[in-house]
Structure 1
Amino acid sequence: MAAKRRKRMRTILRNAKIWLGGDQFASAVLFDSSQILAVGTDAQVEAQRQNGDQIIDVQGRLVLPGLCDTHLHCYNKGCTLQNIDLQDVSSIEEIVSRSREYIQAHPDSSVIHGRGWNHDYFAEGRILNRADLDRISTRVPVVLTRACGHIACVNTCALQRLGFTGAIVQPEDGQIDVDEQGCPTGIFRENAMLLLKPLDPPLTVTQIKERLALALAAAARAGLTTVHSNDVTSENLDLMLEAYRQLRAEDRMPVRVVLQCTLTDPESLMRYLEIKEQTPSDEVLVFGPLKLLTDGSLGARTAWMRQPYADDPSTRGIATMTRAQLDELVSLAHAHGLQCVCHAIGDAAIEMVLDTFENVNRTSPDNPLRHGIVHCQITDSALIDRFASTHTAALVQPIFLHYDQHIVEQRVGTELAQTSYAFRSLAERGVAVSFGTDCPVEDLNPFANLYCAVTRKDLHHPEASGYRPEEAFSLEAALRCMTETAAWQSFEEGRKGVIQIGALPDFTICDQDVFALAPQKLKDVRSWMTICQGKVRWQAE
């Protein structure tokens, strides 16, 4: 006798304020583990109730379609949760103190890692150097990465382990800072950071799973139900995919993941395409786009600019790929029907990516694969117009305004600053704009991101006027960037990012009603409950 099919658990959320888009709301929703079954008033949904249905009274709270972050790094977030957290340090002395405390608590560590420092906040008014890190340890390598992820500082022990004891040969598409005598200062920029990898022992799938699980749990606590995560690289392709596969098989993915894969050679790209083709379709673990990196960050002055930096005329930043390399990889992906998203912050990098996308879309100018640019920060009016004319998607990070608004004019000058971070202008020109956080560059809290999109202010000064307030989104438009447009970016529109019959059962239930709050209060909102795949994945105490 054939086994009976297991009946899916059904759940009803009632006594709710369920946002359906625009000014439309419902009060109840019925769903199982695969889809939404009914939406309406409490009475309408109650009429479809069956014995055994789970009932959750949300006590009038706001229910949003599950929120999505279209660009972050789960693996790196997991690493930061295990290593030294330097996100809020305000001095080099604090870095030294916090790192020493970490070593005391982890005396067997063979390499010390930390991330999150930003020298623009240091009381000392300068960047880290190896002498600072030698005060932390002379016995084991110390590697402390800037918040942006585009600069790392190491101690003398690390330099010696790597063999950097004589004249420095500068790597391609990166930089090792040296002093007047030609000795390394400890600072590694962009692709030079790849030279630090031999310091760490080989990773295991178990270690990767542990870090991914920590990050995915943090995403669920924050109220996210989907993340587009940039973890897979040419170097870790098999290990990272296996780690994700195992987490999926063990039902340890409390949020959905769209993989963004940094594959920097044709061989690894073709291997990924082969694996993707052989992998059954799945709405929890999605094999997503090729993700390429074309420049650095504004804070590190490594974003690639068309003109020298206003506050450092000796540099225009660093292009981490040549146009020929970019063309080769994007053309190969495009030919195989694979979407491409490219990190580009400086105007030179953005221009190069737009040129490449325009080239591959010669016969299909409406950009059917939905190629996009991640970050899209430094633009002039002509570049904004080119986003629209090439139908290039924009995966932006409003949360970057928290810090960048205080440095952008210094870095690029007044004129260019007045046309940069023009996220609303992009949307008004018909560009598909979705929001991410680039966590762990910034925290993955979607409500802080929402606040920055709606107010254009930093998190600490809601009373200020904000940076280019004319670029602020309305609350409804900003929410669409985190729901409907985010779903469109991964070809899941209608199935995700909306609350309607047949859509995925993913919900973010807020502890405060964002529609009833003053904009400056949005940053204080938190998830009261996160439901993904029809299951409660997080609930506040």
Structure 2
Amino acid sequence: MKKHFLTIAALTTLLFACKQKQAVDLIVSNATIYTVDSTFSKATYMAIDKGKIVALANSNELLNTYSGKETFDAEGKTIVPGLIDAHCHFYGLGLNQQIVDLVGTNSFDEVIERVKTFAASNQATVIRGRGWDQNDWSLKEFPANTVLNELFPDKPVVLERVDGHAYLVNNAALKLAGINMDTQVSGGDILKKDNELTGVLVDNPMALVDAVMPKPSRATQIKALKQAEKICFDYGLTTVNDAGLDKEIIYLVDSLQQAGDLSIRMYAMVSNTPENLDHFLNKGILKTDRLNVRSVKVYGDGALGSRGAALKQEYSDKPGHFGALVTPADKIEGLAKRIAATDYQMNTHAIGDSANIVVLKAYKSALEGKNNRRWKVEHAQILENQDFDYFSSGIIPSVQPTHATSDMYWAEDRLGKERIHGAYAYQTLLRKAGLVALGTDFPVEQVSPFLTFYAAVARQDLEQYPQEGFMKEEALTREETLKGMTIWAAYSNFEENEKGSLEPGKLADFTVLDKDLLAVPVDSIPFVKATDVFVNGKKVK
């Protein structure tokens, strides 16, 4: 009898245990969840514990198994994996919040007015600004510094072009940098007119100015990083690939993340300087929960808008001009061999077809016999038809769709009717490589990933121009675009097993949207908003 009683008691205990729910930190309900898993499945409920996804389901049966310490009712909204910007300048975005904003200026006169307004309320020893683009002006020519010299005869003024590949500086800045009519710098241009310096510096000569500029204080650096994080979270980004950081800023990011003062995740590309490479290549990969340092950012050439992109044939709108490599071909080859001997990835900026083939050949040679290295060509903007095949060997194109819709008004002027067909060719790159990593290159372009999505799918501006889409055959589908901003971007960072899709065991990074990116009318895509953002299962917006 006693034995029978114990059996019933044990059975009762077992049944009670079976009915107990597993406690988790968060349950998400009533959502349209695009998991972006291998079958692109959808779910309605998600359980999260200790920063990771525990389970997903399409019915409320999940609630019979799990109880959440906290709950989040999505109220029917769309949820996607935390959005990744595969190529941006996060720290630069933050610094830009503290200088003259020249984005969207429609004339040089407007540039001058914004500089004057800034100078009237700012006591900085140097006036800095960024965002002008002469291609947006009625007179589509580089400006000269005459007016700046009159307004600021003694205070240096440095105004950066929107793409970051040209400066307009006044004579005070030129003098400080030691630049005169006899100064020679390879890999760029010091523009002259009527036997005088115009103040326009393209690519490598800009470094002479940078070398004499005051460095941001630590307080300024921290403020910049925090401001950039807020902007990115507002747009639903949870991971950013910063395309070129020095050792000092990388370690500052790490310290802020470890202290809980910076929540965003970062894939940091190390800027190609001797000091940075000697440190990180010898140290090896640096990986924490929020920071991944395992790549080197190299510049192959300049930008198309400033005619610094290195082309095989002369510019259609500037006979005899071919642009320039900012890193000579033999240096790119040497860097590729050095980096290939480590565990680091090489990510090289290449705009022109000449720069792209130099980079692709260097990659092919350095990676002979090495598998799964996932080296990237950043931008991969203009290629000759036969050169696309290089991407079939595991090289990843990291592209920015809004470059196509920003440049489409004048790109054919630069390249001509034939060469333009090898430019901004995202669908072709996808077919060859099997994936594309998508980013913005902000602050060159706007931060919004929804503009990226729209540009990739519609190939139009916000006025739906051109009507049929710019080279619409190179558009991506909506599913391809979402993958490029999530799982493919994660793969390009060696992080596909921890993020990029919403699956059990992966990080609980996700973005809640007010509209369904995969279903709304295409012209509504730019106006989608991120209403809530979660990193590690914690709400950060």
TM-score by length of 1: 0.92
Structure 1 residue 202, shift from structure 2 partner: 2.9
- Give 3-state SS (helix, strand or coil) of 1:520's partner: helix
The answer to whether the 8 Å contact 1:116/1:146 transfers is: yes
Distance 1:9 1:196 in 2: 55
Aligned partner of 1:58 in structure 2 is: 74
Which stretch shifts more, 209-218 or 292-301? 209-218
Residue 330 (structure 2) aligned to one of 324, 330, 333: 324
- Give 3-state SS (helix, strand or coil) of 1:102's partner: helix
Gaps of 5+ in 2: 1-22
Structure 1 residue 463, shift from structure 2 partner: 6.4
- Give 3-state SS (helix, strand or coil) of 1:82's partner: coil
Aligned partner of 1:176 in structure 2 is: 190
Aligned partner of 2:361 in structure 1 is: 355
Residue 386 (structure 2) aligned to one of 364, 368, 382: 382
Aligned partner of 2:11 in structure 1 is: none
The answer to whether the 8 Å contact 1:205/1:240 transfers is: no
Supply the AA of the counterpart residue of 2:481: A
Aligned partner of 1:292 in structure 2 is: 298
Residue 223 (structure 1) aligned to one of 224, 236, 257: 236
Supply the AA of the counterpart residue of 1:385: D
Residues 26-105 of structure 1 correspond to what in structure 2 (within 5 A)? 26-50=43-67, 53-105=69-121
The answer to whether the 8 Å contact 2:244/2:297 transfers is: no
Supply the AA of the counterpart residue of 1:95: V
TM-score by length of 2: 0.92
Q: What do the CA deviations read for 1:487-512 (whole angstroms, capped 9, x no partner)?
A: 11011113211111001100011111
The answer to whether the 8 Å contact 2:405/2:470 transfers is: no
Select the structure of larger CA radius of gyration: 2
Supply the AA of the counterpart residue of 1:269: L
Aligned partner of 2:200 in structure 1 is: 187
Say whether 1:249 aligns with 2:258: yes
- Give 3-state SS (helix, strand or coil) of 1:53's partner: strand
Say whether 1:139 aligns with 2:154: yes
Supply the AA of the counterpart residue of 2:217: T
Gaps of 5+ in 1: 1-7
Distance 2:437 2:96 in 1: 25
Structure 1 residue 59, shift from structure 2 partner: 0.8
Say whether 1:517 aligns with 2:520: yes
Supply the AA of the counterpart residue of 1:354: L
Distance 1:485 1:429 in 2: 14
- Give 3-state SS (helix, strand or coil) of 1:359's partner: helix
- Give 3-state SS (helix, strand or coil) of 2:540's partner: strand
Residue 24 (structure 1) aligned to one of 18, 41, 64: 41
Distance 2:353 2:140 in 1: 27
How many residue pairs are counted as aligned between the two chains? Answer: 518
- Give 3-state SS (helix, strand or coil) of 1:43's partner: coil
Say whether 1:150 aligns with 2:154: no
Aligned partner of 2:10 in structure 1 is: none
Supply the AA of the counterpart residue of 2:54: L
Aligned partner of 1:5 in structure 2 is: none
The answer to whether the 8 Å contact 2:24/2:66 transfers is: no
- Give 3-state SS (helix, strand or coil) of 1:289's partner: strand
Say whether 1:394 aligns with 2:380: no
- Give 3-state SS (helix, strand or coil) of 2:65's partner: coil
Does the C-alpha gap of structure 1 residues 135 and 505 become closer, same or farther in structure 2, counting only changes over 3 Å? farther
Say whether 1:411 aligns with 2:414: yes
Structure 1 residue 249, shift from structure 2 partner: 2.1
Structure 1 residue 329, shift from structure 2 partner: 1.4
Aligned partner of 1:196 in structure 2 is: 209
Q: What do the CA deviations read for 1:178-208 (whole angstroms, capped 9, x no partner)?
A: 2232x21100110110011244223333322
Q: What do the CA deviations read for 1:323-351 (whole angstroms, capped 9, x no partner)?
A: 21111112111101211110001000000
Distance 2:251 2:377 in 1: 28
Aligned partner of 1:493 in structure 2 is: 496
Structure 1 residue 407, shift from structure 2 partner: 1.6
Distance 2:53 2:186 in 1: 51
